[in-house]
Chain A
Amino acid sequence: MRQHSRTLMALLLTTALGTACSRPGASPAPGAPPAAESVRVTDVDLGRSLGADKRITDKTDSFKPNETVYVSVTTEGSASSATLKARWTYEGDQLVQESSQTIAPTGTSVTEFHVAKPDGWPKGSYKVEVFLNGNPVEAESFKVG
């Protein structure tokens, strides 16, 4: 009887320790969601020209009608797929252009969007809104004059 109790205790202890030790390295259950991917926009800049690193080299919020307008979006984090969108508007409500890029960022990434109008931009106030995965994250206003 005493021998039987010792065997039972040892079995229970082994099972408990085994369960506790296996948790940290355990594989996710089949069908479990993958580890969360996290990307966030950390900086948005406007300007007239870009460097090879896609960052703005000539920041401004005031453009001439014949200039190309660049917006540079810096993101941090990693994801197998993330969509950035730039939505350009004129005088508050008129849509100028909308474009998006789907990227697989790792660490710090810089994505640029640009718009040009061959016959020149009408003078006035403009805005570019930046969206990450459909959610608005930042907006920058600029003028053409």
Chain B
Amino acid sequence: MGIFNRNEDKNQGKPDFSNVQSGGSSTAAPPVTTDPVAGSAGGTYIVVKGDSLSKIAKREYGDANKWRMIYEANRDLIKDPDLIYPGQSLRIPQA
């Protein structure tokens, strides 16, 4: 009983980070796999709050107008190019 109470006390007041969204990307190619996914040669990108396809295109290619490349590579995930969601993992094709 004492142990459980102590653990509860210890966790009290600690912030909740369970909704933290994370992602990443690299200029390096991913390792070669035996079963590559079409269109994934440029890596993946995890969408965070505030992202749009043109923002991601600007970040990935330096050109916001290339958003359609990302859209085309992710047609199975993106129904409306104006609607992407935090946490979505998008394929980034090589420019």
Measured CB to CB, the residues of A under 8 A from B are 50-54, 68, 75, 80-81, 84, 86, 88, 90, 94-97, 99, 101-106, 109-119, 122
Whether A54 and B17, one on each chain, are in contact in the complex, defined by CB atoms closer than 8 angstroms, is no
Q: Mark B26-37, 1 if CB is under 8 A from A, else 0.
A: 111111100000
Contacts of B21 in A (CB 8 A): 115-118
Q: How near does chain B come to A99, taking the closest CB pair, in angstroms?
A: 5
Whether A110 and B15, one on each chain, are in contact in the complex, defined by CB atoms closer than 8 angstroms, is no
Interface members, chain B 2-42 (any A CB < 8 Å): 14-15, 17, 19-32
Whether A113 and B24, one on each chain, are in contact in the complex, defined by CB atoms closer than 8 angstroms, is yes
Q: How near does chain A come to B60, taking the closest CB pair, in angstroms?
A: 7
Whether B24 and A114, one on each chain, are in contact in the complex, defined by CB atoms closer than 8 angstroms, is yes
Main secondary structure of the interface of A (DSSP, over half): strand
Whether B23 and A109, one on each chain, are in contact in the complex, defined by CB atoms closer than 8 angstroms, is no
Measured CB to CB, the residues of B under 8 A from A are 14-15, 17, 19-32, 48-50, 58-62, 86
Listed from nearest, the 5 A-B pairs whose CB atoms lie closest are: A52-B62, A109-B28, A111-B26, A103-B28, A105-B28
Contacts of A97 in B (CB 8 A): 17, 20, 22
- Identify the closest chain B residue to A93 (Cβ): B14
Residue from the list B31, B48, B49 in contact with A102, Cβ < 8 A:
B31
Contacts of B17 in A (CB 8 A): 90, 94-97, 117
Whether B31 and A104, one on each chain, are in contact in the complex, defined by CB atoms closer than 8 angstroms, is yes
- Identify the closest chain B residue to A49 (Cβ): B59
Whether A109 and B27, one on each chain, are in contact in the complex, defined by CB atoms closer than 8 angstroms, is yes
Contacts of B86 in A (CB 8 A): 116, 118
Contacts of A109 in B (CB 8 A): 26-28
Whether A52 and B58, one on each chain, are in contact in the complex, defined by CB atoms closer than 8 angstroms, is yes
Whether A113 and B32, one on each chain, are in contact in the complex, defined by CB atoms closer than 8 angstroms, is no
Q: How near does chain A come to B10, taking the closest CB pair, in angstroms?
A: 11
Contacts of B14 in A (CB 8 A): 94
Q: What are 24 A-B contacts with C-beta separation under 8 Å?
A: A51-B62, A52-B59, A52-B62, A54-B26, A68-B49, A80-B31, A84-B26, A88-B22, A94-B15, A99-B23, A102-B31, A103-B26, A103-B28, A103-B30, A103-B31, A104-B31, A104-B32, A109-B26, A109-B28, A111-B27, A112-B24, A114-B24, A115-B22, A116-B48
